[in-house]
Amino acid sequence: MALDRISLSDFRNHAQTTLEGTARMNLLVGANGAGKTNVLEALSLLSPGRGMRRAALVEMMRGGAADGFAVGASLVGAEEPVRLGTYTQGAQPGRRRVRVNSAESSAVALGEWLAIGWLTPAMDGLFVGAAQDRRRYLDRLALAIDPVHARHAGRYEAALRERNRLLSDDREPDPSWLDAIEAQLAEHGTALSEGRARLIDALMAEIVAQPEAPFPRPALSYVPGGPLGYEGLSQALHDNRRRDRAAQRTLDGPHRDDLEVLYAARRMPAAQCSTGEQKALLLAITIAHAALSAKGRASLLLLDEVAAHLDPDRRAALFERLRAGGSQVWITGTEIAPFEAIAEEAAVWNVANGTAERR
């Protein structure tokens, strides 16, 4: 299954844009600032979470528009098309709404229909950046496989904020109230950790099934930020209340998890690899995740300016792996030349000034 009849209304620089006649491979070609990445961001909102740029909803509404924005697409390939949509309204620009076949629904429900992954230039520093960025990356990959993961993440973060608020209060926290909050943290934190660990195991199974060249093979490890399991996490939270109160924050738990990535053949941490090697490692993870996501439901892979810094051999290998995968692929570029190998089989749009014209 794949997306078709995609519509953007008052989204970023797109007043009214419609893309029809899509293919397995889809190319958006145009100058910088034309609105190519905006199309990818719109597509990324057809999944749980905050989208590809993690921007505030009010920032996504086109300048001068007053009634919010809307993004819709038809999921085709099954017996009956399914219309997926997300939008905001002028009266509540910060509230995201979702519809499935014109019925009100939830963002989590979108993940039951469609798994979406992406790779953008902003992710190039993932391996050398903060652990928080890698945790967010892990959770995004996990919720593409299991949409319920987003619910556990949200509830864990809410309980964590409440515990930290109590710990930083001038008054001694009520132990019974801490007990209740820590029970929530242990429940959802355990589910969060288990989801991340399952994801890495499944990703590694996909990675080792891929050829070792021309992309370097990454080795992924889950690094827990505290005791694992409900009992272990619950006990650690209880036993460390005094220490955490002194620090005015919770020092154990999945909010301190990390992802360790090695260049497997060289046993070198990704953070110590060259910029080109880091990009290739990230691309290898992205391809493996797309293959994993495509098992069981429709899958979308969004690649922003991905071909610009690949040599011809790696570019050709990328296209071969994308063909072999089960995902519908959307790629942006400033010119068609790097995509000549797939141009005949792809749907191609020229994007300019917030419009998209099919070639």
Model confidence pLDDT, tens digit, residues 68-93? 999 999 999 878 899 999 999 999 99
What mean pLDDT, rounded, does the chain reach? 94
Q: Which residue has the tokens 């309204």?
A: 89
> How is residue 162 written in tokens?
């409440």
Helices 148-167 and 175-209 sit at what angle, rounded to 10 degrees? 140
And the tokens for 250? 């919770």
Interatomic CA distance for residues 66 and 78, integer angstroms: 36
CATH entry, 148-265, from 3.50.50.100, 1.20.1050.90, 1.10.1660.10, 3.30.450.20? 1.20.1050.90
Is 167 within 8 Å of 248 (Cβ atoms)?
yes
Encoded tokens for 257: 């998890």
pLDDT tens, residue by residue, 288-319: 999 999 987 899 999 999 987 788 888 999 99
* Tens-place pLDDT, residues 249-302: 999 999 999 999 999 999 999 999 999 899 999 999 999 999 999 987 899 999
Q: CA quadruple 57, 60, 64, 65: dihedral positive or negative?
A: negative
Q: Phi first, then psi: give them for residue 232, nearest 5 degrees.
A: -65, -45
Q: Which whole number is the average pLDDT over 10-21?
A: 97
The pTM is what? 0.93
Angle at 333 between CA 31 and CA 327, to 5 degrees: 145
> What is residue 348's predicted lDDT score, i.e. its pLDDT?
97
Which tokens in the block code for residue 147?
């949409």
Helix (H, G, I), strand (E, B) or coil at 48: coil
C-alpha 317 chain-centroid distance: 23
HSE (side-chain half, CA atoms, 13 Å) at 158: 10
Q: CA 227, CA 259: separation in Å to the nearest integer?
A: 16
Four-residue CA torsion sign, 102, 104, 107, 113: negative
What pairs with residue 330 in β-bridges?
A: 26, 302
pLDDT of residue 4: 96
- Tell me the H-state helices in 168-304: 175-209, 230-239, 241-247, 275-293
CA torsion sign for 207, 211, 217, 219 is positive
Q: How distant is the alpha carbon of residue 199 from its chain centre?
A: 13
Tell me the one-letter amino acid at 177: W
Q: Give the pLDDT confidence score for residue 214 in this predicted structure.
A: 87
Q: Which residues on adjacent β-strands are paired with residue 352?
A: 355
| 69 neighbors 90 (Cβ within 8 angstroms) | no
CA distance 282 to 117: 12
3-state secondary structure of 54: coil
Residue 213 pLDDT class (50, 70, 90 cuts): confident
The b-or-e profile of 287-306 (16+ CB within 10 A means b, else e) is bbbbbbbbeebbbbbbbbbb
